[in-house]
């Protein structure tokens, strides 16, 4: 529901002063209206939601030079109906007696007009109102005829041979060692044998497997 709150002000200046305070509080401009005397005053009051019992008294006040402010208190800002009442109470308004100046009406969500309906050529520059596609105007084709795919290279030569004349793979038989002659890399700086076939001793101490303790005459277990 929407609460329609209306008040009569002595003149337009007083009405604009109250409206500025409403704007400062965050009331959308589309939700408030200042109505003055004129040929469309009655229609404007009806559109603003002025209560039917206030139409006659308001029309007389407008004819006398007064102004009417109508506010549609929906949901923005929070507590908009209370804020509007407080601002109107502190403003210079005219007491209308028993006239209904606040009523609830059904609220309909605002619907933005279609851009295409109101502005069908909003991306068109003046003088370019030509029917059809932009591509047609400039002679551009959007689609091309299908072509059969073909390999990137139309020959059997490998790309590597264009800058590397030597063969990439050799059929020559390989030796077991990468070093010519089969020599081990270690023999180049270590002339001695790396492995020995001599019989190993049981102890690293010269003299065989006699423990050092026995040679000194010491008992390990008492």
Rounded to the nearest 10 degrees, the angle between the axes of helix 41-48 and helix 52-63 is 140
Percent of the chain with pLDDT over 90: 43
User: What residues pair up with 102 in beta bridges, in sequence order?
Assistant: 5
pLDDT tens for each residue of 134-184:
677 777 777 777 777 666 666 556 666 666 777 777 777 776 666 565 556
Classify residue 103 as exposed, middle or buried by CB count within 10 Å of its CB (0-12, 13-18, 19+): middle
Q: Tell me what the mean pLDDT of segment 76-82 comes to.
A: 91
pLDDT of residue 143: 75
Contacts of 21 (CB under 8 A, 6+ apart): 87, 91
- The per-residue pLDDT of the chain, averaged, comes to 79
| For residue 104, pLDDT beyond 60 | yes
Domains of the chain, CATH where assigned: 2-105 (3.30.70)
Q: Which residue has the higher pLDDT, 1 or 115?
A: 1
């Amino acid at each position: 529901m929407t609460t329609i709150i209306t008040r009569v002000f002595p003149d337009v200046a007083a009405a604009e002063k109250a409206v500025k305070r409403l704007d400062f509080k965050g009331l959308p401009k589309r939700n408030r209206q200042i109505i003055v005397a004129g040929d469309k005053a009655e229609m404007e009051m009806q559109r603003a939601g002025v209560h039917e019992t206030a139409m006659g008294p308001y029309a007389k006040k407008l004819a006398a030079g007064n102004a009417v402010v109508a506010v549609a208190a929906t949901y923005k800002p929070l507590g908009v109906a209370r804020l509007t009442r407080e601002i109107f109470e502190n403003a210079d308004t005219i007491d209308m007696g028993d006239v209904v100046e606040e009523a609830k009406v059904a609220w309909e969500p605002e619907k933005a007009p279609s851009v295409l309906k109101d502005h069908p050529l909003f991306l068109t520059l003046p003088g370019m109102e030509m029917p059809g596609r932009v591509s047609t105007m400039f002679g551009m084709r959007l689609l091309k005829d299908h072509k059969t795919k073909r390999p990137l290279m139309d020959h059997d030569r490998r790309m590597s041979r264009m800058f590397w004349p030597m063969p990439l793979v050799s059929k020559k038989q390989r030796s077991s060692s990468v070093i010519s002659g089969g020599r081990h890399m270690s023999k180049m700086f270590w002339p001695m044998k790396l492995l020995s076939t001599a019989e190993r001793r049981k102890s690293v101490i010269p003299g065989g497997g006699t423990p050092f303790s026995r040679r000194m005459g010491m008992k390990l277990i008492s």
